[in-house]
Amino acid sequence: MQPMPIIRPEYITDTDGKRTGVILSIDAYQELMEDIEDLAVLAERREEPTVSHADLVADLKRHGYLPD
């Protein structure tokens, strides 16, 4: 897991000083979009059955992705 990137947002304010928008660097925006996509995939797949580590390793070996 990568450390949380430092996000330095700039705020857009109205005439009363109330924050109405935010400006992010492209890198920070892309990181956030990737995180949202990852979370969406997790939410979609949360009801799928799990596979044990031993079964996964055995399957990878059986299909030639890992040496015996």
pLDDT per residue over 35-60, tens digit each? 999 999 999 999 999 999 999 999 99
Domain presence at residue 3? no
Domain presence at residue 40? yes
Confidence of residue 6 (pLDDT cuts 50, 70, 90): confident
Our count of domains for the chain comes to 1
Q: Please tell me the distance from the alpha carbon of residue 58 to that of residue 44, in angstroms, as a whole number.
A: 26
Domain that holds residue 22: 10-62
Do 61 and 68 meet the contact criterion of CB atoms below 8 Å apart? yes
Higher pLDDT, 48 or 4: 48
Q: Please tell me the distance from the alpha carbon of residue 17 to that of residue 56, in angstroms, as a whole number.
A: 55
Q: What pLDDT does residue 36 have?
A: 96
* Terminal alpha carbon distance of the chain: 28
- Output the six-digit token pair for 65: 């992705």
- Output the six-digit token pair for 36: 């949202």
Tell me what the pLDDT averaged over the chain comes to: 92
Whether pLDDT at 33 is above 90: yes
Q: What pLDDT does residue 5 have?
A: 67
Domain presence at residue 4? no
Domain presence at residue 43? yes
